Every structure is written in structure tokens, then in C-alpha cells.
Amino acid sequence: MQLSTQFPELFRKETYAVNLALVEERQLENVYDDILAKRPIDGVWDKEYSVVPIGALAGRKDGEDIPEKNSVMGYTVYGAQAIEASGKAGLSKILKQRSRDFSAHDGADVDEPKFAGHIADTFSRGFLVRREQKWRKMAAKLFNYGGIQAGNSFFNHRTRCDFSDLPDSNLLYDGSPLFALPAVAHPSFAAKNTKGQGAQPVGKFVDWAVSIPDTGGYFNAFQYPPSYWALKRVFTHFVNNMQFDEQDEREIAYPDTLLVSGYDYPRWCELLESKFIEPYTTGVVTNRENIFVSVEGFKVKLVPSPDLVAQTWYLGQSKSQGILILEPSKQEDPWAYYRDEKDRSYWITFEDQWGFMIRNWRRWCAGSISVDGVTPPDYGADTGWDTMPAGI
């Protein structure tokens, strides 16, 4: 058996056609493509500084000096790429087992166009589908592992790229997890505050043996089962208590996306498509209007993900640059075809790499997290999700 030097190019051409077919079949669709922004990366790792804006401006009287207000460099934010999808497959056994199917009639050993089409329809299709699944799962880990309060090695960019230039940390740039509970709130850069001026509590949820007081601070994780009241609580906290810059000055930002576990998707559809919410409470006969259906400015896009831990959900801004997916700007051909001279066998390999950078925790708030990245939070029976929480 002998393949000519033109075979790799034939294979790539057939693989390109398979990729187009998968796109048309919608097998490469990914919910995170629509909610996470992307940025090219040239090297193995990259860094940038969060710019701390100048302080609040004040007036002055005639004749007084104009006060100096300079921007300063804030937290150092890192991101790194790594080989995330890799695999290889042997071709020799296929040629031997199906030698009649791929025998050439012009004196050559192999009908190369036919063989290239076959492995593109089999191995290439498989690699491309699995690659997309791996990308999707990596993006989901940002949310699944982001709720681990002690941090997780998934966020350690030194481990990711194996470069000692990067800090050896399992936490974010500010020493907190991505989704921080009140006990480990994010500190601002300028004054290390964990609460912005004018921030205030928006209620206290006490139900299902869960009690997380809202201090109005810089935290972005709750532990609530899916409910109308929980969504309203998280929405209010996102807008009023999270949106301050590194100088503790208020910003204005509103969430537009509700990312939920596919496990709870039917329940969220009920919540976001019902014009009225009827509390499951004895003696309550009046309905409450669902503002997330009827009031402009509160409507959010519902995005389900089967890779999120069950009963977790997140409210945030799509394409907000807070979380970036890093893709190599100059990428090598992910496909390689070679002959192993030790046994004269033929192989095909596939590798792809990408990474991420978290620049601003303020653009996403977790309504419910997994404390270990794997175990779903337990809120009891499904019927409890209709119960109006006490204290709200």
C-alpha cells in the first residue's frame, strides 16, 4: 500500500466539504458562540491591565487650580491558550480490510479520491463534532467551576499553558472566584472596597433552608432555585449593587441573557412565557404580573445549556467583553497525515487549541451555583419552586 503526496490535499478538500455539511445540518451550533465574545491571541498567553478610571469630577471656583485627575493601571488580567482537543486514528487497517473498495483501476495502489472522501465522511466528521463538543464543555466550565469559592485549577493559567511567567493562582485577578458569595466579595482596586457608594440590600431570601443576606456589596452569586422572585432579586442586585467601577463609582448596565441548565429549561419557559405569576401559597387568590414578559427593559433572552450543572442559572450580558474566548490568530492546520516508518502504517491526527480571559466579573451574576462544579444544588421538591419566598 502506498499513498502519493497529493493525498493530504485531497483529504483537506473533502474535509472542508464535510465541515460545510455539518454547518448546514446545524451540528456545530454552540450556545456559547452567541453569548461569549471572542478575541484573537498571538502568543501562548496574554495579559492586560484593567484601567482604573479617574475619580469623580468636581467643580472649582475662578482662580483655583484645575485638580489633577489621572487614570492608573489596575488589576493585571491574564489569559492563556492550550491544546484542548487532540486525537489520532489509524488508516492502515481500513485500507487492508476494505482493499477492494479502495483499489484503483489505473495501476496505482489506492483510489485516493475515494479513500479521502471515505475518511473525511468518517474520521473528519467525528473529529469536528467532538471538537465542537469540547469547546462547548470548556465554555460551560467557566460557569460550573466559577462558583467554587476556593477557586479551581481550571482558572490557573500557569497550569493551562505551563509557563512560569504567569501567576500560580486558581482565582481571578482580584483574588476572588468568578462567582463570589457575600463572604468572599470582590474588592475594588482603588480602595479595596467590597461595596459601592449607594448600594443597598434588595431583600433577604429565606426558604428551602437557604439564607443568603443581601448586603448590597460586590458579590455575584446567590443560591436560589428557579422562580420569578429569585430572578427579580438577582436582576435588581445586578443593576444596583454590582455595577461600580474600580474607583467605586456607579456604572449603568442591564442584563439581557438568562443562561440556564437544560435540566430546568421547561420550568424557565413557564416562568418567562407566563403573563401572570400565581404564588403557590394558601389563601392567595390574586395574580402578580410578570414584568419579564410585559415590561420593556426587563425582558431577557433564555439560553439553555445541557453542559451546565442541573439547577444552576446565570443572568448577564451577552458579548459584553467581561469573559473572552481566546482563539489563535495564526493557527496551524489542525489536520496532519503521516506515515510511521517503523511499521509503515498510516495515521491521521487532529489538534485544536483555544483559551479564555476573564476581564470583568461584573457582567454576570449567578442565581444558583454548584459549590464543587459537579454536584447540583438541592432545593427540594419541584413544587417548592412556585412558593413565594419569605422576606421578599
pLDDT digits (tens, 9 = 90+) for 232-290: 889 999 999 999 988 888 889 999 999 999 999 998 998 888 888 766 556 655 677 88
Q: Which three cell numbers stand for residue 213?
A: 443576606
Place of cell 457608594: 197
* 7-51+75-386 carries CATH number 3.90.1690: yes
- What is the C-alpha to C-alpha distance for residues 149 and 172, in angstroms, rounded to an integer? 11
Q: Which residue has the higher pLDDT, 337 or 390?
A: 337
Cα–Cα distances in angstroms (integers) from residue 244 to residues 78, 193, 257, 264, 304, in the given order: 22, 11, 20, 31, 29
Residue 103 · residue 113 · CB < 8 Å: no
The pLDDT tens digits for 285-336 are: 567 788 888 888 888 999 999 999 999 999 999 998 899 988 877 666 676 6
% of the chain beyond a pLDDT of 90: 30
pTM, full prediction = 0.81
**What's 122's DSSP letter?**
I
pLDDT attached to residue 259: 96
Give the model's confidence band at 96: pLDDT under 50 very low, under 70 low, under 90 confident, else very high: low
Q: Is 82 within 8 Å of 177 (Cβ atoms)?
A: no
User: Which H or E run contains 300?
Assistant: none
Q: For the chain, give the mean pLDDT.
A: 79
Q: Which cell goes with 97?
A: 480490510
| Closest CA relative to residue 142, chosen from 336, 349, 341, 305 | 305
Q: SS3 for 227?
A: coil
